[in-house]
Amino acid sequence: MNDVAIRVKNLGKRYYIGGKRKNSIRLGDKVVDVALTPFRRIKKLIKGDPAGASDLDREFWALNNVSFDIKHGEIIGIIGHNGAGKSTLLKILSRITEPTTGYADVYGRIGSLLEVGTGFHPELTGRENVYLNGSILGMRRTEINRKFDEIVDFAEIEQFIDTPVKHYSSGMYVRLAFSVAAHLEPEILLIDEVLAVGDVDFQKKSLGKMENVSHEGRTVVFVSHNMNALQRLCPQSILFRHGQLISQDKTRRVIEQYLSAMSSETSGPNSIIDLTNQKRDGTGDVMFQSLSYKGNDESLAYYPYTNGPLEVSITLFSKSACSVSSIAIVILDRYGTKLVNADSLTHGNNISLRKGITTLTFQMEQLHLNPGLYTIGLWVANPPIEVYDYIASAAMFEVTETESQKIRVQEDGLVPVKFQVLGIS
């Protein structure tokens, strides 16, 4: 008996990017293109070039020669940067788009969840949308009948089930949508980053539901940027980079590999880290330009150390003179857990920014961080109205240790603490 659930062999997906594409969107271009193509081909043939695919512009392999096996009952995490090929893989496995090369054999009924609420119609009631969405996701009518109460129950919207969903709050909407999807019972489930819906309580509940799914012996392929969720759910993971499979291993190891690849981009203390090309969100009316950080000990080359101070200097560019209430420096651990949130909002004073460049320095007195790698995130906003700029991952930095701290117990606590042992007399 074959225990493989998904076998992927030399799978590749090519897209064409840039100016002139073969599939031009305007009919006029297409007609001209089609009319000229035979002449172009003939010209190439005369010159001795291979005609055909070579006259395409720039090609881009979203997925390149990927092979792996997933066994029945395995819960596999897929990790990688944006554009690493994770979503393309899921789209191919769920048959939304075709691969360019290779193949994937899928043993069993497959269900995919690339987005919650797809196909919901605002004019229809909650009840009607459960049936509509369920059918689109591949459930049979009898199956939906059977699970209907459970779905409504899970979404916590009993009294609104016969209201058109256009009157729902966005929270109710995503809860119902997630709930339908969560009750899908294929043998193989593909999930893309859908746990990030609803409020914190609902997210916990969703994660719990996913954990149950994984105990039912189903095969799950789970794409996420949430390292916590990945660690909780998936014993094994696959790492992708630039469309290629880098490794398939225990999740903890894969995450470390993923993060250490990122941290090769770390800069030491006192150097100016340029932020202008960082991935960010926000209106852009105020934007972080650069950042530098340092500890206070010259003998440690100004590396921040456990229980020592940290100074972070940031420069901001503002399109106009303005006053902001919240500028924050966030420190996250390697699994994405937010450990520190130094937000100017806690002081209650607005900070005035002049038009152009402003420089600010945040002084943190004591870092209760164990030695290791951490990420700095930056945030400037006037909550709750506007978020000007938010960089989830602006820089990585290393916390080191002083000589006297070098003797450490095997298993560190999550947070260090300064303490004394007093004798009892």
Partner 1 sequence: MVGGSFKANHMIRIEPSKGWFSLRLNEIWDSRELLMIFVWRDLKVRYRQTVIGALWAILQPLLTMAIFTIFFGRLAGIPSDEIPYSVFTYAALVPWTFFANSIHQASNSLVNNPEMVKKIYFPRLTMPVASVFAGLVDFFLAFVLLLAMMLYYGFVPTLNALWLPFFVVLSVTTALGVSFWLSALNVQFRDVRYMIPFIVQIWLFATPVAYPSSLLSDPWRTIYGINPMVGVVEGFRWSLLGVDTAPAPVIFVSYGVALVLLIGGAIYFRRMERNFADVI
Task: Kindly state whether residue 204 participates in binding partner 1, applying the rule CB under 8 A.
Answer: no
Q: Residue 307: which of 359, 255, 366 has the closest Cα?
A: 366
Contact residue for partner 1 among 44, 56, 68, 101 (CB under 8 A): 101
Place of tokens 């049979």: 140
Element (H, E) at 247: strand 244-250
Among 20, 40, 43, 141, binds partner 1 (CB under 8 A): 141
* Paired tokens of 74: 């395995």
First to last CA, the chain: 71
Residue type, 132: L
Q: Which is nearer to partner 1, 138 or 371 (CB)?
A: 138
Region binding partner 1 by CB under 8 A among candidate stretches 95-103, 221-229, 333-341, 404-412 = 95-103
- Which residue of 50, 123, 299, 423 would you call a contact of partner 1, by CB under 8 A? 123
Two tokens, residue 350: 């607005």
Among 37, 69, 131, 315, indicate the residue that binds partner 1 (CB under 8 A).
Answer: 131
Least spacing, CB of residue 76 vs partner 1, in Å: 17
CA angle 285, 362, 328 (to 5 degrees): 45
- Kindly state the smallest distance separating residue 15's Cβ from partner 1, in Å: 7
Q: Which stretch binds partner 1 (CB under 8 A): 22-30, 375-383, 387-395, 397-405?
A: 22-30
Select from 78, 89, 137, 238 the one that contacts partner 1 (CB under 8 A).
Answer: 137
Shortest spacing between CB 22 and partner 1, in angstroms: 11
State the nearest-atom distance from the C-beta of 213 to partner 1, in Å.
13
User: Residue 123 CB: number of other CB atoms within 10 A?
Assistant: 9
Pairing of strands 273-274, 286-294: antiparallel
Residue 57 or 386 with smaller CB distance to partner 1: 57
Residue ranges of E strands in 119-201: 188-192
Among 25, 46, 53, 424, binds partner 1 (CB under 8 A): 25
Nearer to partner 1, 123 or 411 (CB): 123
What 3-state class would DSSP assign to 400?
Answer: strand
Judged by CB under 8 A, which stretch of 75-83, 129-137, 282-290, 309-317 contacts partner 1? 129-137
**Residue (of 273, 266, 271, 195) closest to 234 by Cα position:** 195
Q: Please give the residues from 372 up to 401 whose contact with partner 1 meets the rule CB under 8 A.
A: none
Single out the residue of 37, 41, 51, 132 in contact with partner 1 (rule: CB under 8 A). 132
Among 55, 69, 185, 311, binds partner 1 (CB under 8 A): 185
Q: Compare residues 143 and 256 and give the one whose CB is closer to partner 1.
A: 143
Radius of gyration of the chain (CA): 26
Phi, psi of 121 (to 5 degrees): -110, 125
> To which residue do tokens 């440690």 refer?
300
Spell out where 267-404 has E strands.
Answer: 273-274, 286-294, 310-318, 322-324, 326-332, 338-343, 351-353, 356-364, 372-382, 386-399
The residue (of 142 and 404) whose beta carbon lies closer to partner 1 is 142
CA 317 to chain CA mean position, Å: 27
- Sort strands 236-241 and 75-79 into parallel, antiparallel or unpaired: parallel
Any residues with CB less than 8 A from the CB of 123 and at least 6 apart, and which?
Answer: 164, 166
Among 33, 55, 69, 143, binds partner 1 (CB under 8 A): 143
Return the H-helix or E-strand segment holding 5: strand 4-17
| Cα–Cα distance for residue pair 64/324, rounded to 1 Å | 46
**Please, what is the minimum distance in Å from the beta carbon of residue 237 to partner 1?**
22
Among 55, 156, 187, 297, binds partner 1 (CB under 8 A): 187
145 is a contact residue toward partner 1 (CB under 8 A): no
Q: Give φ, ψ of 189 to 5 degrees.
A: -120, 130
Q: Which x/- pattern over 71-90 shows residues binding partner 1 (rule: CB under 8 A)?
A: -x------------------
Q: Whole-number minimum distance, CB 133 to partner 1, in Å?
A: 10
Please identify, using beta-carbon distances, which residue of 184 and 332 lies nearer to partner 1. 184
Query: Which of these segments, 33-41, 111-119, 246-254, 277-285, binds partner 1 (CB under 8 A)?
Result: 111-119
Looking at residue 146, its amino acid is R
**Interface residues toward partner 1, by CB under 8 A:** 1-3, 5, 15, 23, 25-28, 30, 72, 91-110, 112, 114-115, 118-119, 121, 123-124, 128, 131-132, 135-138, 140-143, 185-187
